[in-house]
Amino acid sequence: MRKIFAGTMIFMIVTFSNVFARDVERDSLNNAAPSSKKLTKPWYETIQLRGYAQMRYNGLLETNPDLQCAQCDRSWGGDGGGFFFRRIRMIFSGQIHERIFMYIQPDLASGGNNFAQIRDAYFDLGLDAKQEFRLRIGQSKVPFGFENLQSSQNRLPLDRHDGLNSAVLNERDLGVFFYYAPSEIRQRFNYLVSSGLKGSGDYGVFGLGLYNGQTANLPERNKNFHVVSRASYPWELPSGQFIETSFQAYTGKFVINRNPQTDFDQTEFEEFRYGPSVIVYPQPFGIQAEFNWGRGPEYDPETNEVKDAPLRGGYVLANYFIQTGKDIFIPFTRYHYYKGGKKFELDATRHRVNELELGIEWQPNRNFELVAMYTISDRTFENSLNPDNRQKGSLLRLQAQVNF
């Protein structure tokens, strides 16, 4: 029944994708307009280098060191502390052929231990002269959710919300994705990033993909592909206000990690999710809202087993864009909620999350950003090693970001 339901959702997205207009851009971080002109330079002279770095401190006004979120930020809570490099990203990209765009992004601070790891490594193959139809081949973001696709370089809250981010660890996987968007809309997606409005980038008005399912930089553990589909459109009102609406769904089978001391019989679970996104861009007031429903593995502390269970979660974010001279201030608040398992954690750890964040981002120039965010959190995260674990608390978190 779950397969039929998830498959029906994907079929509906495919069927109704034709109602969207025609036109879009190459990548969420690439701000050059699509071009069908022949390249006059050797491919290696078209490669560009850019990136960003984020340093954090999470130790101010902390009320409970046992309140943590390993998926969000490994320097949050626990016995550690001090300054922490969350990300150091170097992006190598370029149009190496009139039909082929290359994108490679390593992270030099992966896991907070300053280890290097590939985040993205793919190429886009244009299927037509305007590159309105393209295939993305390699490791890239899975098109599920606005905030998941939005670059951490652009996002206001320091971490992605649990509700949709629990679908794909690090937002990425290895696979093949088809994207379609007409040229005018590709440029619109691009503008929503380059203008500072915090867009998610160009992932088409319609996307359909096959990917491994075990998430990025991890070996595949079964012979079943995950299937994902997404429809999204950025509407421009006569007033100039941009509103983006999306709907996405995926399904597949996932192999979890089990504690050998528990029942080890079942490690593969079917899963599916679906949900909408609505983004009103801050011109000057903005609001974001996303939610998803589905089923997947979840640890049950009463039986000490992992079971198939329903899940749901999402968030609402409000922000306001203020420019005074060259300085930009964006105050924001976000409430997010999640009830379900996290399949990529031990025993598909059971999570119950209620969290409120109040923050402000300051940009004195395009190359530097400072974010202060106060977090009030109530988190339950339980598995066979810690079957009774609910933590409440609050803390002030700071992040400095350099863009280059």
Q: Which letter, b or e, does each residue of 64-101 get, where b requires 16 or more Cβ atoms within 10 Å of its Cβ?
A: ebebbbebbbbbbbeeeeeebbbbbbbbbbbbbeeebb
What pLDDT does 63 receive? 96
What pLDDT does 279 receive? 98
Show me where the domains of the chain are located: 42-403
| CATH number of the 42-403 domain | 2.40.160.10
What pLDDT does 264 receive? 64
Instruction: Note the pLDDT tens digit of each residue in 288-300.
Output: 999 999 999 999 9
pTM of the complete model: 0.89
Give the integer Cα–Cα distance in Å for 222 and 402. Answer: 40
Give the mean pLDDT of 103-107.
97
For all residues of the chain together, what is the average pLDDT?
A: 90
Residue 261 burial by Cβ neighbours in a 10 Å radius (0-12, 13-18, 19+): exposed
Give the mean pLDDT of 29-38.
50
What pLDDT does 115 receive? 86
**CA neighbours within 13 Å on the CB side: how many for 105?**
26
